[in-house]
């Protein structure tokens, strides 16, 4: 297989791995390009498992980048959220779970250390066996099993099976419809009826756009926050339906500039929204047009 054929076959899978680990598309693209640039210099005749070899190169680069950027993340202004991807997902690897690049899933992974994240993604999303993961990360199988169990415990109930099929489509479209109506009318009551009482709202401005520094807990505080923004005319123009990471969401433009993306994370059964995410950091909206 030529390098071009290898790139065509594995680029999507490697980007998905890097994006899940890093939460930033540009960094993920840079790492994948670097991996293939180095792979072109490698004698591949002795490589028995090309998929695992490329995953090893990608995962270890991601771990190194996460470790080196730890200080930057710690000094980030306010809450840090992953960069949303416009449109649908592209999965070329038949072993890859199609639901596992969803935005809520990428947010969930931020709970994990770099090593936990790598093992969790390789096992849970990409379907690698522990023997392969051990080789990819230069660990023992026992160590990988223990780390996976620790990661699984950290994500807890959030790792419950995601919404699928018509359930996910109906639930997430309901949020978009309710928010667009609220932005038009200023009446947020229909939207509030979709929220859990202990809903959490998280905004990410990174110090480059106005945003709540801390998460907002509880339906009444979330109501006050949204209605306060609405009373200032924040949502009066430019709100539209879009897809991020393959899922319905809301985008807002002002004077031709994209200023906001809103996404709702639902309970696994589609009954209520448990988290609202608002991304206003302009550095994370550059892919939207």
Q: Counting every residue, how long is the chain?
A: 289
Residue 113 belongs to a domain: yes
- How many angstroms separate the Cα of 41 from the Cα of each of 34, 117, 135? 11, 28, 21
- Same domain (yes/no): 151, 248: no
- Same domain (yes/no): 73, 44: yes
Residue 289 belongs to a domain: no
pLDDT, residue 44, reads: 78
Rounded to an integer, what distance in angstroms lies between the CA atom of residue 152 and that of residue 156? 6
Q: Which of 23-37, 85-99, 177-191 has the lowest mean pLDDT?
A: 85-99
Rounded to an integer, what distance in angstroms lies between the CA atom of residue 289 and that of residue 278? 18
Range of the domain at 200: 165-284
**165-185 residue pLDDT tens:** 556 667 888 999 999 999 988
Angle between helical axes of 25-39 and 3-22 (0-180°, round to 10):
150
Mean pLDDT for 256-278 is 93
Mean pLDDT for 214-236 is 93
* Contact of 167 with 157, CB cutoff 8 Å: no
Decide which of 108, 128, 157 is a domain's last residue. 157
- Same domain (yes/no): 243, 133: no
- Same domain (yes/no): 203, 131: no
- Same domain (yes/no): 238, 142: no
pLDDT, residue 159, reads: 56
> Three-state DSSP class for 273?
strand
- Same domain (yes/no): 143, 241: no
Rounded to an integer, what distance in angstroms lies between the CA atom of residue 281 and that of residue 283? 5
Place of tokens 């490697």: 14
Choice between 83 and 47, residue whose per-residue pLDDT is larger: 83
pLDDT, residue 12, reads: 92
- Same domain (yes/no): 126, 190: no
Kind of pairing, strands 195-204 and 239-244?
Answer: unpaired
Decide which of 124, 141, 157 is a domain's last residue. 157
Q: Which of 42-56, 148-162, 180-194, 214-228 has the lowest mean pLDDT?
A: 148-162
- How many angstroms separate the Cα of 270 from the Cα of each of 18, 68, 165? 29, 38, 11
Decide which of 157, 176, 201 is a domain's last residue. 157
pLDDT, residue 88, reads: 64
- Same domain (yes/no): 11, 130: yes
* Contact of 151 with 116, CB cutoff 8 Å: yes
- Same domain (yes/no): 279, 203: yes
Backbone angles phi, psi at 72, to 5 degrees: -60, -40
- Same domain (yes/no): 91, 211: no
Residue 64's domain is classified under what CATH number? Answer: 1.20.140.160
What pTM, to 2 d.p., does this model score?
Answer: 0.90
pLDDT, residue 53, reads: 95
Confidence of residue 131 (pLDDT cuts 50, 70, 90): very high
Choice between 80 and 289, residue whose per-residue pLDDT is larger: 80
- Same domain (yes/no): 103, 121: yes
pLDDT, residue 145, reads: 97
Q: Which of 76-85, 97-106, 243-252 has the lowest mean pLDDT?
A: 97-106
Q: What are 74's two structure tokens?
A: 């710690």
């Amino acid at each position: 297989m030529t390098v071009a054929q290898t790139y065509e076959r594995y680029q999507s899978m490697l980007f998905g791995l890097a994006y899940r680990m890093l939460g930033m598309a540009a960094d993920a693209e840079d790492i994948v390009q670097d991996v293939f640039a180095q792979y072109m210099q490698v004698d591949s005749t002795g490589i028995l498992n090309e998929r695992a070899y490329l995953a090893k190169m990608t995962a270890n680069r991601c771990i190194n980048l996460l470790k080196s950027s730890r200080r930057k993340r710690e000094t980030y202004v306010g809450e840090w959220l992953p960069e949303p991807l416009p449109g649908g997902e592209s999965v070329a690897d038949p072993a890859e779970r199609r639901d596992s690049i969803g935005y809520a899933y990428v947010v969930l992974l931020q709970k994990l250390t770099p090593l936990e994240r790598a093992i969790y993604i390789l096992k849970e999303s990409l379907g690698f066996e522990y023997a392969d993961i051990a080789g990819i990360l230069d660990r023992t199988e026992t160590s990988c099993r223990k780390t996976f169990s620790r990661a699984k415990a950290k994500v807890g109930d959030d790792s419950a099976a995601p919404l699928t099929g018509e359930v996910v489509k109906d639930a997430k479209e309901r949020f978009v419809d309710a928010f667009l109506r609220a932005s038009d009318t200023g009446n947020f009551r229909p939207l509030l009826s979709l929220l859990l009482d202990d809903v959490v709202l998280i905004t990410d401005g990174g110090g480059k756009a106005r945003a709540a520094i801390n998460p907002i807990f509880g339906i009444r505080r979330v109501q006050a926050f949204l209605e306060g923004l609405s009373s200032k005319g924040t949502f009066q123009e430019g709100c539209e339906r879009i897809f991020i990471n393959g899922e319905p969401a809301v985008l807002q433009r002002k004077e031709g500039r994209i200023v906001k993306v809103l996404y709702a994370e639902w309970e696994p059964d589609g009954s209520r929204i448990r988290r609202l995410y608002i991304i206003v950091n302009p550095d994370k909206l550059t892919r939207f047009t």
